[in-house]
Structure 1
């Protein structure tokens, strides 16, 4: 039996599907839950040998004041604790031989990693941990461009447990908000951390025009399928189970259509707000050695297809490409290094 745990990002929930006129929609976490056979209230499962549990993101619970407070500060004792406890209670319903798959986005990725860490501390093996752009902002946001996410959510002792068979972390190259610094994974034989074109929500989803996020979702699902995750085709989804409390999700809302030239949803800021809250990300590896970050080949394809796409975070940085065949390229240096490179 597979058990799938899906932790959504801040303010993300299935009702986002109704915001398409504002170019908002459901995240890759909602889509993952649906493709894994889950419904909107965690009561029925399409697969006989797979259960999927979904948890809406921090900032979606309680009254509007509670939602605003949790969205801004995400204190340990509020939504975060409630989500974690709900997931742990669902975990206690499982048998000891279930294969566990855990997915998360944004702060939901931080909860997913904490959840995985706690299970492994008790000797529980985890088949697959897949997270999108982990943001560990718990409590007051850190607006220093010179610090890395630190003690609030470093729950893995700076390494991924060997009891996790495979951990995959997809990270945004083009996010510039300092408060959204990613919590990277320390490298290891069971860790694959890959950088993709886009900002935070272009990785984990949440826009109606989600061609970049679909690149990430497609990659993540293919990786998880290699470890036994069961994934429905679009026509196999039971849409009658995706209507609840005035929320109705259809095939157009979950269809996966990767686009290297999809819109990059960078939010404009000017003046004081720009200088104090924005800074290019450090595309790097969380290790002391001379490690090179791994960049998905779709970044080169986007660079070569769109004249004004110049990912400043790669400026004068050495990196490797993750090629279509799964192999790593040799070293590429900076933006100019992508100009003549062919991924074919």
Structure 2
């Protein structure tokens, strides 16, 4: 029997660059992104948008991929949908995003606070936030609001430990309030894998770990998540799965992991495999293999 869909809440879901919903890849074992899989597990109504670079044919794909063209249109459309839903009686806002879609989600919740009288956002789930608006690898992102606003109650950020490509700089989320106590409303956690292993859908052994964690956190926050869907994702875990492609011809350094950072318990020390290196911060010991 399908779960009853609630009508006083909604999820606003922003997919990553070039990512779109593929009906043939639906379900936990499909290759849709984790944004789509989160949407499938969420049993209330959903506003969903495909990632930048999925509209206007080949030109749109190139411009969207390189510069994030079309991003502001997607945020505006989501705000219009939110306005309609609030006028119809919605009171609870949940948001999720991957890659540039995660940056859009973060900007969106800032705009929600600005335009809707600091309307509270119950849950913000981010999969490996990468902005790079304007040009590839840009970390200035002028005009985009990428700090955690005060109207967000809980934010969870799954980050790719092994990503090394220069055009994929992760945005570490800053909480200007500091939280009370610190970290009370923001959790950032590292997962084994590259950008697509955390938010994409190709590498099920690793992506299933990140989506399971996000769904678990959503359940803890009271979101209407289907427990059977969560359990189906858990059964796909493979912490030893090979990671995806993570280097340019001249690889960038690994992402910085600070001593106080949280690392998911499935992550273990990995020795190099030929030319393939792994990000093993000091928190991971060779004895963890």
Normalising by the residue count of structure 1, what TM-score does the alignment of the two structures yield? 0.69
> Measured at CA, do residues 167 and 311 of structure 1 come closer, stay the same or move farther in structure 2, by a change above 3 Å?
farther
Alignment of 1:1-344 (within 5 A): 1-15=8-22, 17=24, 25-37=31-43, 50-75=44-69, 79-95=70-86, 98-121=91-114, 122-142=117-137, 149-152=139-142, 155-156=145-146, 159-186=147-174, 188-189=178-179, 190-207=185-202, 209-234=203-228, 257-267=236-246, 269=248, 274-275=249-250, 278-284=251-257, 292-300=260-268, 303=269, 308=273, 312-315=278-281, 317=282, 332=283, 335=284, 338-340=285-287
Q: Give CA-to-partner distance per residue, 1:101-148, whole Å, 9 cap, x none.
A: 1000000000000001111223111101010001111111237xxxxx
Shift of 1:63: 2.1
**By percentage of residues, which structure has more strand?**
1
> Measured at CA, do residues 267 and 26 of structure 1 come closer, stay the same or move farther in structure 2, by a change above 3 Å?
same
Q: Give CA-to-partner distance per residue, 1:220-255, whole Å, 9 cap, x none.
A: 00001111111125579xxxxxxxxxxxxxx9xx88
Q: Give CA-to-partner distance per residue, 1:277-303, whole Å, 9 cap, x none.
A: x21333246xxxxx6221111112xx3
Shift of 1:172: 0.5
Which runs of 5 or more residues in structure 1 are unaligned? Answer: 38-49, 144-148, 237-250, 286-290, 318-331
Of 214-223 and 258-267, the range deviating more from structure 2: 258-267
Tell me the number of residue pairs that the alignment of Structure 1 and Structure 2 aligns.
267
| 1:206 partner SS | coil
Shift of 1:203: 0.4
Note if contact 1:129-1:167 (Cα within 8 Å) is conserved in structure 2: yes
Distance 1:123 1:26 in 2: 33
Q: Give CA-to-partner distance per residue, 1:171-200, whole Å, 9 cap, x none.
A: 101001011001111254311011110000
Aligned-residue CA RMSD (Å)? 3.0
| 1:136 partner SS | coil
Note if contact 1:11-1:71 (Cα within 8 Å) is conserved in structure 2: yes
Residue number in structure 2 paired with 1:242:
none
Q: Give CA-to-partner distance per residue, 1:249-269, whole Å, 9 cap, x none.
A: xx9xx8861210123112565
Larger radius of gyration: 1
Shift of 1:154: 5.1
Shift of 1:25: 2.3
Normalising by the residue count of structure 2, what TM-score does the alignment of the two structures yield? 0.82
Note if contact 2:163-2:246 (Cα within 8 Å) is conserved in structure 1: no
